[in-house]
Amino acid sequence: MTDTRETNYAGVFDTNIGFGKRPCVLVIDFIRAYTTKGAAFFGQGVVDAVEATVDLLAEARRAKVPIIYTKVLYHPSGMDGGLFVKKVPALRSLVAGEPLAEIDDRIPPQPDDLVIVKNYPSCFFGTTLASTLAGLGVDTVILTGCSTSGCVRAAAIDAIQYGYRVIVPRECVGDRHQEPHDANLFDINAKYGDVLPRDDVIAHIRSVAA
């Protein structure tokens, strides 16, 4: 009998890491390119995740939990995208002034939020994110955004490598297709952090406020 992935991983990849004392919410690439029908990167799963994130962000703001957004922007030449834009040429359209490169209107950054521009999958790579989190005294990153199989996964891997606890509210991340979404949530939960129901994460944020 063939093992299921759950039984195969049991006892090796099933430890919860839990929350620390100082969380931060990362909103990874929830840009219109993923939420506009007809756009190259559109995915209904991302739209659903954006909508699920609205209330989580509201609770984070009430609790004064810092929120950091990321977005992708390239020089028109694409020279700052290196081999990544050669592998995924559609990324070349994400330049300054392109409406699809802007953050979805349902979750607009507020004045106290930070927006970081990145060029590669991980929001830690080539950005000020790690030093910003350290300066804030953050020990836990709550990952929301897209895509689960790309930039969210890359952020989860780098976050734990930088020493941050990783929490992923399941409903608040999305992808263009369900299978890579599910597979990567399983893998993130097994190796890099805790994938939890959104309501559990919101409850923790409320406890921080209390």
The catalytically annotated residue of 24, 146, 151, 172 is 151
CA distances from 168 to 28, 103, 120, 199 (A): 12, 20, 20, 11
151 is catalytic: yes
- Matching residue, tokens 């592998």: 87
209 vs 207: CA distance, rounded Å:
5
H helix runs in the chain, sequence order: 5-9, 32-35, 44-62, 82-87, 129-136, 153-161, 178-191, 198-209
Q: What residues act catalytically?
A: 151
